[in-house]
Structure 1
Amino acid sequence: MKKKGLILLTAAVLTMGSACSKETNNAGAGSSTSPEAKSDTVVVWTYPVHGTYEKDLPGLIEDFNKKYPHIKVQTEMLSWAEGPKKFDVALNAGNPPDLYFHGVDGAYVNTGLALELTNYLTPEIKADYLPGVLELGQIQGKQYGMPLYQSQWAWGGNKRILEEAGIDWKKIQKDGWTWTEFNEASAKLTKKLDNGSQQYALVTDGTSLDFIEMMTRNNGMPDVLDEKGAFQWNDDRVLNTMTFVSDLIKKGNMPKETSALTPAKRTEMFYGGQAAIISKAIPYYDVMIQNRNKDIDAGKIKGEKIDFVLLPVPHNDSAKPGTTMFGEGYVAFKQKNDKGEEHAKNTFLVMEALSGAKAGNSANELVLPFVRKSQAEEFKGKEMGKPENLEAGKLLAKNMIKPVTLNLDIDKAAKQKQFKEQVVKPNMQALFSGEKAPKDILEDFKAKGKQMFGQ
C-alpha cells in the first residue's frame, strides 16, 4: 500500500509540474503574466476625446488584458463641463484616479501625488515617440505624462470666399503670411454681401484669451513669461500686437461687436458666410465641417456647405512664425495611501496601452500630427482630414512653440495664470470694445507686471 501510494503521489507531482510548466510557457508566449501575478485594479478617468473614443477605449483595454489578464482597468467617462471639478476634488482629497486624461500641470506635481515616469520608460518607447513630443509631458525635465496627441491652434478659412477674393491659400499654407500680407488680404475679404449683411475678413470671440495668445506668440513672445520666468508683456512687442488687433476692428475687418461675441456666435458667423476666416480653428474642424456638409446633403440642417482650409496665424513682419501646440494624454498619479511600486508599474502598463499604436486613432480623428511612429504606421492611408490640411498641420508643427509652463516653477506658473485672468482678459475686452487704447493697455500691463512678478 505504501509503495502504491508513493507511485500515485509521484504521478500527481509530475502532473502538477507539467501543468505549471505549460501555464508558465503560455504566459510567456501570449501574456506577460506569471502564475504568481497578483490581481490589481487601475482606475482611469477620461473624457470623450473624439467622436468614437468611447467605442475605441474598450478595444484598447481588451487588447491589453490579453497580455495582462490580472490587471483590471476600471474606466469612468467624465463630461468636459464637470470632469475637471470632480478631478480637482479627488486630487485635493489625496485620492486621484491612477490615470487622468489631461495635459501635465505643475499644480499636479506640486501635490506630490503625480507619478514620475522616467524609470518606466523603456528605450523602445522613447524611440517610438517623434522628436520633441515626450517633452510635452514633462515638468522641469521630469516625465509625468504620455502625450496621446499634440493639440494645435490655428485659423480656418472658407475656401470659396478666399478664392473669390483672389487669396492664394495654398501659398499661405506652405509659406505662412505676415501681418502686412494679412492686412492686404483683409481689404479684399471685407465687403457688403448682396443680402445686405457684412462679410468680415476675420471673426473671433471676445470671451477667451486664445486669440491674443496666438497673436503675441507670432510676435516673439512665447507667453506672458518666457521659459526662464522673465516677464514679456511690457514692451513694444505687446504694444504692436494690440495696435494690430485694434486696427483690424477700426478698419471694419473684424466685427465692432467682437467683445460680445461668444465662441458659438463666432462659429455661426463663419458657417453663415459672414466671415472668411475664423480664429481659433483646430484641425478637427476639417472633420466637423465634412460631417456638417453631409447633414446638409441629407436635409438634416440648412446652410451652405463649406470647404475648410487650415491656415497659419500671421506673424509680425519682423518676427518668426509660431504655432501654439501642447500635449494632451494621460497623467499618472499615486494616492495619499500609496498602493506600492507594483501598482505603479501596473499603472504605467495601462498608460502605455492607452497611448500606443492603436490609440493613435485619437490624433487621426482630430486631424492632428501623430505623436508616435507606430501610430503613423498604424493609420497610414486611413487619415480623416483632407490631404492639403494634413500637410498644413505638419508644416504648422515645425513652428511649434513649446509651452513655457512646462519649465516654470509652480509659483510663477500660478502667477502667470492669475495675470491672464485678472489683467489680460479685462484689457482685451476693453481693446475689442474701443474703451482703451493699446498704449494705455501696455501701461496697465507694466504696472501690474511689476506688482505680480517684480519685473
Structure 2
Amino acid sequence: MKKPLALMIAMMMLIVTACGGNSGSDAETVDADAKDTVTVWTYPVHGTYEDELKELIADFNQEHPHITVEYEMLTWAEGPKKFDVALNAGNPPDLYFHSVDGAYVKTGLALELDSYLTDEIKNDYVPGTLELGQIQGKQYGLPLYQFQWAWGGNKRILEEAGIDWKQIQQEGWTWSEFNEAAAKLTGTAPDGTTQYALVTDGTSLDFIEMLTRNNGMPDVLNASGEFQWNDHRILDTLTFIDNLIDQGYMPKETAAIAPAKRTDMFYAGQAAIISKALPYYDVMIQNRNKDIDAGTVQGEKIEFVLLPVPHNDGAEPKTTMGGEGYVAFKQKNDKGEQHAKNTFLVMEALSGAKAGNSANELVLPFVRNSQAEYFEGKGLGTPDTIEAANMMAEHIEIPVTLSLDIDKSAQQKQFKEQVVKPNIQALFSGEKTPEQIAEDFKAKAEQMLK
C-alpha cells in the first residue's frame, strides 16, 4: 500500500505545482486590447493646432478604439508651472509637449523609448533630428519639428532706413553693423510715438541666450559641463544689451514688456525689429493682413522679414535651434508596461506624417521624411522666409542640455531661473551694471555649478 500512496502524493504535488504555475502565468499576462487612458498636455502650437490634434486622435482611435486619449490645452504663460508642479508631485501626464530636458530625466519619471522604436520609425527621421529627442544618447521624446529662434523685421521700415535686409539674410551681420542700422531705425512711428530699432520682452531668457550663443558661448555651460559665463564674453554681451537701452534703440521699460505687448508694438510700427521671432511670424502676419483687408482688424499691413541674430565681431554666427515635440513620462504609481506601450502608440500618432502640419504651419524644417512628402508643395511661408530659415539652419547650435548629464542639466536650469533671470531684468531696468551682473554670475556659479 505504501507504493500507491506515495504515487498518489507525488501526482497531487505535480497537479498543485502545475496549477500554481498556470496561475502565476495568468497573473502576468497582459491584455493588449484592454481599455486604457493616455493623458496628453500640450499647447496651442499654432493657430489651429487643437483642431489638428482632434483629427489626429480620431485617426488613432480608428485603429485603437480601446485607448482613450484625454488632452488638455495649456497656456504658454501658465502651462510650464502647472507641469512642474505635477512632475514634482510624481503625477505628470503621460505625454507633455516640450523639448527633452535632463531635469526631467533626473526625476526618474521620464520614459525611455528606445525599446519601442522600430527601424521603420528611426529611418523615417531626417538624419540628426531624432537625436533632438535624446539625453546622452537615450531617447525620451519624439520631435515634431525643429524650432528656430530669430529676429524679425518690418520690411517697410527697414527699406525706408536703407537697410539691405536681403544681404543680411544671406550674409548675416555683426553687433557693430546692427548698431549702425539701429541708429537709422530709431525715430518716430506713424502714430507719433517713439519708433524703436528693437523690441523684446523682459520676462524670458530668450534674448540673452541668443546673443550669448552669437558670442562664442553655447549656453551657461558647454557640452562638457564647464561654466562659460565667466569671462569677457559675457561682459561684452551684457554691455551690448545695456548700450541698446542707453542709446534709445530699445525701450527703457523693457523689463516690464510682456510678450503680447512686444508683438503689439511691432504691429503698430513702434519697433522696426522684434526678438524673438519665429519663421511662423510670416504666416501669422499674412493672416493678420487678410483680417485687415476684411475689416475685422485695424492697423497697418506689414510685410515680414526673417533676420538672423547678429553676432559679435569676430565670433561665429549661431542659430538657436532644437527639437520640440512630445516627451513621455511614467508616474510615481507606475501603470505598467502595457500602459507605457500605449503611451508610445499615442506619441507616434501625434508625431507622424500628418502631424507634420505643425512644421508646415510654423515654416520650420520637417523632422521626418514622411512629413516632407505629405506636405510637399503646400508650404505656407513666403519664399524669402523659407530661404532665410534654411540658410540660418546651416549655423545651428545644438542644445547643450542634450549632451549634459542629468545633474549638470538640472543645475543649469536652476541657475538660469534663480540667477540669470533676475539679473537680466535688473539689467533691463538699469538697477545693476553689466560689471555687477557678470561678477554675480561668477560668484553664484561657484556655489551652484559644482
Partners of 1:98 and 1:332 within 8 A in 2: yes
Match of 2:321 in 1: 325
Structure 1 residue 217 corresponds to structure 2 residue 213:
yes
The 3 A distance-change label for structure 1 pair 429 and 99 is closer
| Residue aligned with 1:279, SS | strand
The 3 A distance-change label for structure 1 pair 370 and 72 is same
The 3 A distance-change label for structure 1 pair 61 and 197 is closer
User: Distance between the aligned counterparts of 1:261 and 1:339, measured in 2?
Assistant: 44
User: Distance between the aligned counterparts of 2:404 and 2:254, measured in 1?
Assistant: 33
Structure 1 residue 419 corresponds to structure 2 residue 425:
no
CA deviation profile, 1:128-177 (whole Å, cap 9, x unmatched): 11122111111121100001112221100000111111211112112211
Letter in 2 for 1:120: Y
The 3 A distance-change label for structure 1 pair 166 and 227 is same
The 3 A distance-change label for structure 1 pair 421 and 334 is closer
1:46 corresponds, among 26, 31, 41, to: 41
User: Distance between the aligned counterparts of 1:444 and 1:428, measured in 2?
Assistant: 11
Partners of 2:83 and 2:92 within 8 A in 1: yes
Structure 1 residue 407 corresponds to structure 2 residue 399:
no
Deviating more after overlay: 221-230 vs 344-353: 344-353
Structure 1 residue 199 corresponds to structure 2 residue 220:
no
| Residue aligned with 1:170, SS | helix
What TM-score do the two structures reach when normalised by structure 2? 0.87
Letter in 1 for 2:109: L
Partners of 1:39 and 1:72 within 8 A in 2: no
Runs of at least 4 residues off by over 4 Å: 193-196
Letter in 1 for 2:39: V
Deviating more after overlay: 192-201 vs 53-62: 192-201
TM superposition shift of 1:89? 4.3
2:301 corresponds, among 305, 322, 333, to: 305
What TM-score do the two structures reach when normalised by structure 1? 0.86
The 3 A distance-change label for structure 1 pair 66 and 264 is closer
Structure 1 residue 138 corresponds to structure 2 residue 134:
yes
User: Distance between the aligned counterparts of 1:198 and 1:344, measured in 2?
Assistant: 55
Partners of 2:170 and 2:388 within 8 A in 1: yes
User: Distance between the aligned counterparts of 1:251 and 1:76, measured in 2?
Assistant: 45
User: Distance between the aligned counterparts of 1:77 and 1:263, measured in 2?
Assistant: 19
User: Distance between the aligned counterparts of 2:422 and 2:125, measured in 1?
Assistant: 40
Deviating more after overlay: 190-199 vs 304-313: 190-199
2:248 corresponds, among 229, 241, 252, to: 252
Letter in 2 for 1:269: M
The 3 A distance-change label for structure 1 pair 79 and 427 is closer
User: Distance between the aligned counterparts of 1:401 and 1:101, measured in 2?
Assistant: 21
User: Distance between the aligned counterparts of 1:37 and 1:411, measured in 2?
Assistant: 36
TM superposition shift of 1:250? 2.3
CA deviation profile, 1:295-343 (whole Å, cap 9, x unmatched): 2112222211111111110011211111112222111222334343333
2:223 corresponds, among 221, 224, 227, to: 227
User: Distance between the aligned counterparts of 1:348 and 1:155, measured in 2?
Assistant: 35
Partners of 1:114 and 1:332 within 8 A in 2: yes
CA deviation profile, 1:347-371 (whole Å, cap 9, x unmatched): 2222111101000011111222111
Partners of 2:174 and 2:311 within 8 A in 1: yes
Partners of 1:37 and 1:70 within 8 A in 2: no
The 3 A distance-change label for structure 1 pair 59 and 244 is same
Match of 2:433 in 1: 437
Match of 2:4 in 1: none
The 3 A distance-change label for structure 1 pair 75 and 431 is closer
TM superposition shift of 1:99? 2.1
The 3 A distance-change label for structure 1 pair 93 and 276 is closer
Partners of 2:190 and 2:269 within 8 A in 1: no
Match of 1:175 in 2: 171
The 3 A distance-change label for structure 1 pair 40 and 84 is farther
1:371 corresponds, among 367, 374, 380, to: 367
TM superposition shift of 1:290? 1.5
Letter in 2 for 1:114: A
Letter in 1 for 2:110: A
TM superposition shift of 1:200? 1.8
Partners of 1:41 and 1:74 within 8 A in 2: no
Partners of 1:98 and 1:334 within 8 A in 2: yes
Q: How many percent identity over aligned positions?
A: 75
Structure 2 stretches lacking a partner, 5+ long: 1-30
User: Distance between the aligned counterparts of 1:238 and 1:86, measured in 2?
Assistant: 32
Partners of 1:156 and 1:281 within 8 A in 2: yes
- Matches for 1:47-446 after TM superposition, within 5 Å: 47=42, 48-193=44-189, 196-446=192-442
User: Distance between the aligned counterparts of 2:250 and 2:210, measured in 1?
Assistant: 16
CA deviation profile, 1:38-83 (whole Å, cap 9, x unmatched): 2342413132322222222232233333444444434343444554
Match of 1:449 in 2: 445
| Residue aligned with 2:146, SS | strand
